[in-house]
Amino acid sequence: MRAVRRSVVIPAYDEEIRLAPTLPRALEWAGPDGEVIVVDDGSRDGTSEVARRGGARVLRALRNRGKGHAVRVGIAAAEGDVIVVTDADLASPIDQADLLLDALARGAEIAIGVRRRVGRNQPRHRLVLGRIYGRFVRRALQIDVRDPQCGMKAFCRATAHALASECALDGYAFDAEILSLALRRGIPVAQVPVLWTDVPGTKVNVLWDGAKMVLDVLGLAARQRIADLPERLPTR
């Protein structure tokens, strides 16, 4: 049986410091037949240089577009049989992706991490706001996803390419968008507990990015309701 080729996609914005120690681990996990793609989302530091010297395949945006855009670019370029998307800080250790691949092998087409916090935790206000956002996403989009913003997700390549090509959100709400699209189409999604610890240096601004995520999800929910209207209209 042919070995499953792995692609790791890492969206990165000003991540030269956090990427330097984590990239070797990602490359080792991907294996000699795999690949690590770092999508430099218009960084102002040496993210691209660090990634390139470290052995990753680098795709660079001319300006900062957002995590969603970076992930879409990385997925479109990925050539592996399975595609793992993870954060540059590897807050969930890369070997936790093995658990997601096990779920794909059992028939899921998407496997998403559900964070089991160990070690250092987020500041309390971020933890509380994250939980509120998760409940908001579940209610607004009517999807049963426990942890939509976990940075570790795995996809079968064909499913990832098809869904990512239809997504439009450039920001952090992309995660909710691609999961909502998958679940509305009946694509099997597994939710898998993964270890996670907070790593200092996040680029997420709780107020600004949080507000944009809420607005993006509300807009997505409105578009979905409009798309569903023909099914709800009475026939004559």
Q: Are 127 and 121 in contact (CB under 8 A)?
A: yes
Measured from the Cβ of residue 233, the count of other Cβ atoms closer than 10 Å reads: 8
Is the pLDDT at 232 greater than 70? The verdict is no
Domain-embedded: residue 61: yes
pLDDT at 201 over 90: no
Q: Give the Cα separation of 199 and 91 in Å (integer).
A: 6
* Residue 101 belongs to domain with CATH number: 3.90.550.10
Structure pTM? Answer: 0.92
Residue ranges making up the domain that contains 121: 6-231
Of the pLDDT bands very low, low, confident and very high (cuts 50, 70, 90), residue 125 is confident
In a domain, 236, yes or no: no
192 beta partners: 113
Establish if 54 belongs to a structural domain: yes
Residue 199: inside a domain:
yes
- Residue 85 resides in a domain: yes
Residue 104 lies in a domain: yes
* Cβ-proximal residues to 195 (8 Å cutoff; 6+ apart), any chain: 92, 93, 96, 116, 118
Return the percentage of the chain with pLDDT > 90, whole number: 82
pLDDT tens digits, residue range 30-84? 999 999 999 999 999 999 999 999 999 999 999 999 999 999 999 999 999 999 9
Residue 147's pLDDT band (cuts 50, 70, 90): very high
- Identify the three-state secondary structure at position 92: coil
Distance of CA 109 to the CA centre of its chain: 15
- Domain assignment present for residue 47? The answer is yes
- Which residue(s) pair with 190 in the sheet? 111
**Domain membership flag for residue 1:** no
Share of the chain above pLDDT 70, in %: 95
- The pLDDT score that the predictor gives to residue 140 is 96
Q: What is the pLDDT of residue 3?
A: 81
Q: What is the residue-averaged pLDDT of the chain?
A: 93
Cα–Cα distance for residue pair 172/25, rounded to 1 Å? 25
CA dihedral over 190, 175, 195, 75, signed as positive or negative: positive
Instruction: Give strand pairing partners of 85.
Output: 9, 153
**Which amino acid, residue 64?**
N
What pLDDT was estimated at residue 233?
54
> What's the structural domain count of the chain?
1
Q: Quick one: pLDDT band at residue 118, thresholds 50, 70, 90? A: confident
Amino acid at 86: T
Is it the case that residue 235 has pLDDT exceeding 80? no
Q: Decide if pLDDT at 100 tops 70.
A: yes
Band of pLDDT at residue 89, cut at 50, 70 and 90 = very high
